[in-house]
Chains A and B, each alone.
Chain A
Amino acid sequence: MTKAKTTITDQPVTATGTETWQPRILVFACNWCSYAGADTAGVGRMEHEPHFRMIRVMCSGRIQPAFVLKAFEKGADGVLVSGCHFGDCHYIFGNERAVEQFDKTMNMVKLLGIEPGRLRLEWISAAEGIRFAEIINEFTEQVRQLGPSPLSSKRLDDLRIEEEIDG
């Protein structure tokens, strides 16, 4: 129950630093396909955008709306959810659960006014290193076009309000 004091990235947060700004993207990858796909891209020395952090989960069906919303709350500019192709799921139907959870998440994201382009679901198999690199490049570019998440630039204001309340 202890509060986890983690941030998604150690990159400095600036309110206006658009010249140096790079998106901060969180990628959820399943253990059996997508994570291995990322590995294949690495082993094959494929070049791709580096502005993401990856969290490995056992199955994409585990990725609940809470995970994605927490990422946006903490200031992520984009979230990519990835898993095995249909029919390939290590747990037979885990990725079908992932779709249900993803749809729910997308509903919430749209209501909250976060651009739907900041969230994406993709299937990447262990062999698809090239596809992994392509998707990362494409998604990074998409998020870059959208600009920084309003929630990440709000961090500074947030701190100010905190001081106001404490003092």
Chain B
Amino acid sequence: MAELAAIAQDTRAWACYDCGKCTATCPLVRAGARYSPRRHVLATNQGKRPANSGEGTLFDCLTCKLCDTRCPVGVEYTELVLKLRELAHRDGVEVECPHGGALQSAMRIMAKGEMAQDRLGWLEADMLTEPDEGELFLWTGCTMYYDAFFPEFEMDSIAGTKAAVRLLNKLGIAPVVSPDERCCGHDLLWNGDVKHFEMLARHNVKLVEASGADTLVVPCAECLRTFKRDYGPFFSGKKPRMLHLTEFLSENLDKLPMTNGASQRVTYQDPCRLGRHLGVYDAPRAVLNAVPGLELAEMRHHGSASTCCAGGTWSNCDRYSKQIQVNRLREARQTMAPVMVTACPKCQVHFKCAMQDPNLKDEITIELRDVAEIIAASLE
């Protein structure tokens, strides 16, 4: 009871006046799911824990934060879900993980193991990087794992990571790219597994601190959110400056010789972690607009109203997620842009999955690229 009261206090759940805007806004509900954020808030305020089984549980939430932006009294529903999932996990509830929990197992193996990962196999001869010390740390994220795990989608999310290295090299920077990097723990945290999250957080923070870098550049929206919002207590000294790759590039646009006009139309998918979680909307658009000849066409829902890829934490995938993805891809196709640009590898995974549908394939297929790839292509 006291625990729930403290959570209600921290997340402002107590302020809820039952208007139901959250439920009306929720992408899941709009896709037809039986799900109600409002009832979860209500239950918390009544000192009850939302049910952990059946339809409409806490674990269905996409944590996309759309409801938070619409709440008239500022209830942080997404934070509430995070805290309640932590309690559920403590009571032994495990998420019904899509992919059978394989990715969660990989994360826990990284958290526990002293094994040397083979995560830098993608580095190419022309790329200049430092293995352990330097001024700028490039946090690559787990794109190599996604490419290995989803061969059926012909994933090439590593291309974004490679482009990030090349862009930094072009700016005269040899970033630290560490072979000891581990998963940031984002998904474990959002599944409620705080224990393994903390093991990963301690390791990763130590790694970044030991590098002596004063700037941390992250091309993955989820890793950045985790570093900025969740790693706070683990830093012992001065925190480095933490930026998304597009933020860093937008500061250095004058130094990037973007000569190769792309002359194409693209549309931009705001990742929920970068947009609503961290408030970065302008930087990716600024760098895209700086490419000569590139036309940025916005989708109907963009910026803070953007729809997410419906699978952010590897804890929720069902026909409603699928419907959300299909609707989003239709919006993208309506812009007449042949390419959808995003700043998070997971958006790529989930949209590519939706595109496998044999009945809808022709209507929703669109080329997916990381924003770094587009910028790097304009340099050559």
Q: Which of A's residues lie within 8 Å of B, judged by CB?
A: 1-3, 64-67, 69-70, 72-73, 100, 103-104, 107-108, 110-114, 150-151, 154, 157-158, 161-162, 165
Q: Which of B74-113 contact A (CB under 8 A)?
A: 92-97, 99-102, 105-106, 108-110, 112-113
Q: CA of A151 to CA of B52 in the docked complex: distance in angstroms?
A: 31
Q: Is the CB of B100 within 8 A of A1?
A: no
Q: Is the CB of B145 within 8 A of A111?
A: yes
Q: CA of A26 to CA of B145 in the docked complex: distance in angstroms?
A: 24
Q: Is the CB of B112 within 8 A of A158?
A: yes
Q: CA of A158 to CA of B144 in the docked complex: distance in angstroms?
A: 26
A2-B92, A150-B113 known; A70 vs B118 contact (CB < 8 Å): no
Q: Which of A67, A69, A110, A150 has the most CB of B within 10 A?
A: A69
Q: Is the CB of A112 within 8 A of B115?
A: yes
| B148 interfacial contact with A, CB 8 Å | yes
Q: Smallest Cβ distance from A48 to chain B, in angstroms?
A: 29
Q: Is the CB of B195 within 8 A of A72?
A: no
Q: Is the CB of B144 within 8 A of A111?
A: yes
With beta carbons under 8 angstroms apart, the residue of A64, A65, A150 that contacts B114 is: A150
Identity of the chain A residue whose Cβ is nearest the Cβ of B101 in the assembled complex? A66
| B119 interfacial contact with A, CB 8 Å | yes
Q: Is the CB of A67 within 8 A of B100?
A: yes
With beta carbons under 8 angstroms apart, the residue of B109, B112, B145, B198 that contacts A165 is: B198
A107 cross-chain contacts in B, Cβ below 8 A: 148-149, 151
Q: Is the CB of A73 within 8 A of B144?
A: no
Q: CA of A69 to CA of B145 in the docked complex: distance in angstroms?
A: 13
Task: Report B288-332 CB contacts with A as 1/0, cut-off 8 Å.
Answer: 000000000000000000000000000000000000000000000
| B116 interfacial contact with A, CB 8 Å | yes
| B53 interfacial contact with A, CB 8 Å | yes
Q: Which of B95, B106, B152 has the most CB of A within 10 A?
A: B106
Q: Is the CB of A70 within 8 A of B112?
A: no
Q: Is the CB of A66 within 8 A of B100?
A: yes
Q: Is the CB of B149 within 8 A of A69?
A: no
| B46 interfacial contact with A, CB 8 Å | no
With beta carbons under 8 angstroms apart, the residue of B94, B95, B101, B110 that contacts A112 is: B110
With beta carbons under 8 angstroms apart, the residue of B100, B117, B118 that contacts A65 is: B100
Q: Smallest Cβ distance from A102 to chain B, in angstroms?
A: 12
A111 cross-chain contacts in B, Cβ below 8 A: 117-119, 144-145, 148
Q: CA of A138 to CA of B259 in the docked complex: distance in angstroms?
A: 60
Task: Report B192-229 CB contacts with A as 1/0, cut-off 8 Å.
Answer: 00110011000000000000000000000000000000
Contacts A/B (CB < 8 Å), 6 sampled: A1-B53, A1-B94, A2-B93, A66-B100, A73-B112, A150-B115
Q: Smallest Cβ distance from B143 to chain A, in angstroms?
A: 11
Q: Is the CB of B92 within 8 A of A104?
A: no
Q: CA of A150 to CA of B152 in the docked complex: distance in angstroms?
A: 31
Q: CA of A43 to CA of B93 in the docked complex: distance in angstroms?
A: 42
Identity of the chain B residue whose Cβ is nearest the Cβ of A166 in the assembled complex? B195
Q: Is the CB of A73 within 8 A of B105?
A: yes
A1 cross-chain contacts in B, Cβ below 8 A: 52-53, 93-96
B99 cross-chain contacts in A, Cβ below 8 A: 64-66
Q: Which of A66, A104, A154 has the most CB of B within 10 A?
A: A66
A100 cross-chain contacts in B, Cβ below 8 A: 152
Q: Is the CB of B114 within 8 A of A108?
A: no
Q: CA of A162 to CA of B194 in the docked complex: distance in angstroms?
A: 11
With beta carbons under 8 angstroms apart, the residue of B52, B97, B112, B149 that contacts A154 is: B112
Q: Which of B174-194 contact A (CB under 8 A)?
A: 194
A112 cross-chain contacts in B, Cβ below 8 A: 106, 109-110, 113, 115, 117
Q: Smallest Cβ distance from A83 to chain B, in angstroms?
A: 18
Q: CA of A165 to CA of B197 in the docked complex: distance in angstroms?
A: 11
Q: CA of A162 to CA of B92 in the docked complex: distance in angstroms?
A: 15
**5 other contacts beyond A1-B95, A66-B100, A73-B108, with CB at 8 A cut-off?**
A70-B101, A108-B102, A112-B110, A113-B116, A151-B112
With beta carbons under 8 angstroms apart, the residue of B92, B94, B106, B116 that contacts A108 is: B106
Q: Is the CB of A103 within 8 A of B100?
A: no
Q: CA of A1 to CA of B89 in the docked complex: distance in angstroms?
A: 10
Q: Smallest Cβ distance from B89 to chain A, in angstroms?
A: 9
Q: CA of A94 to CA of B79 in the docked complex: distance in angstroms?
A: 43
Q: Smallest Cβ distance from B114 to chain A, in angstroms?
A: 5
With beta carbons under 8 angstroms apart, the residue of A3, A108, A114, A154 that contacts B145 is: A108
B110 cross-chain contacts in A, Cβ below 8 A: 112
Q: Is the CB of B109 within 8 A of A69?
A: yes
